[in-house]
Amino acid sequence: KAGVTQTPRYLIKTRGQQVTLSCSPISGHRSVSWYQQTPGQGLQFLFEYFSETQRNKGNFPGRFSGRQFSNSRSEMNVSTLELGDSALYLCASSLAGQNGYTFGSGTRLTVV
Amino acid sequence: GESVGLHLPTLSVQEGDNSIINCAYSNSASDYFIWYKQESGKGPQFIIDIRSNMDKRQGQRVTVLLNKTVKHLSLQIAATQPGDSAVYFCAENIEGNNNDMRFGAGTRLTVKP
């Protein structure tokens, strides 16, 4: 079966712009989590969605938001981009919030 | 705050040798742990997991050891191969806590031919 698909793979944006990243989980998986990965901070939890509801949220500013659709696909949005938002954004899915994520390959966001 | 941490940021081993990657965790409530492998340009890949009611679990060429007394986790890779070169992360979770996994900083494993 297909894995977790993230689009786009690479993105370059200018400071102040906004961006939307997409994640399609493994078929049947209802939980989708988002992580930000940077060399300095490592993997940091952004938020988790299950059945279109945000169940858990990390310590990121309100500029970072997300949503999940009825087909479990998820998007995350970052508004008013800052240089420090440059990172690899990873999406991971699991069956029902159970342990053992499957990660996508990520979206590499560069803010210039 | 409580966090997951790694003892060594880099590890270099000879092909064929065994590798041991260590991880310390501080949240005594954590009861589920996972090791991930991340190769360049890819997302983390699940290697092996262990629950707190166990102290050892074996997979194919990998073994995870859990010492709850000192809050220490290790990943042992037998007969390390060049394809094992990657960054390895440990992650902790409180089972049932909505998948809020906390990851360590990662250890870069380099396998020398």
pLDDT (tens digit per residue) in A13-71: 999 999 999 999 999 999 999 999 988 778 899 999 999 999 888 899 999 999 999 99
The helix (run of H) or strand (run of E) holding residue A92 is strand A87-94
Let me know: does B8 contact B75? Beta carbons within 8 Å.
Answer: no
**Which of B38, B99, B102 would best serve as a mutation to test chain A binding (most A beta carbons within 10 A)?**
B99
Tens-digit pLDDT profile for residues B23-78:
998 788 888 899 999 998 899 999 999 999 999 999 999 999 999 999 999 999 99
Residues A2-12 have a mean pLDDT of: 95
d(C-alpha B56, C-alpha A18), whole Å: 46
Helix or strand (DSSP H, E) at A63: none
In b/e form, how buried is each residue of A4-37, taking b as 16+ CB within 10 angstroms? bebeeeeeebeeeeebebebbbbeebbbbbbbbb
Among A45, A58, A100, whose Cβ lies nearest the Cβ of B34?
A100
The answer to whether A36 faces chain B, any CB pair under 8 Å, is no
Q: Tokens 């494993």 map to which residue?
A: B109
**For position A9, what pLDDT does the model report?**
96
B41, B43, B95: residue with CB nearest A99:
B95
Asked if A4 has any chain B CB less than 8 Å from its own CB, the reply is yes
* Band of pLDDT at residue B4, cut at 50, 70 and 90: low
Chain A positions in Cβ-Cβ contact with residue B99 (cut-off 8 Å): 31, 33, 48, 56, 94, 97-99, 101
Give B11 or A39, the one with higher predicted confidence. B11
pLDDT in tens, B74-94: 999 999 999 999 999 999 887
Chain A residues closer than 8 Å to B102 by CB: 45
Q: Which of A90, A97, A106 is facing B98, going by the closest CB pair?
A: A97
**Concatenated DSSP letters of chain B:** ---EEES-SEEEEETTS-EEEEEEE--TT--EEEEEEE-TTS--EEEEEEETT-SEEE-SSEEEEEETTTTEEEEEESS--GGG-EEEEEEEE-TTSTT--EE---EEEEEE-
Say what the pLDDT of residue A1 is. Answer: 61
Of B36, B43, B98, the CB nearest to A55: B98
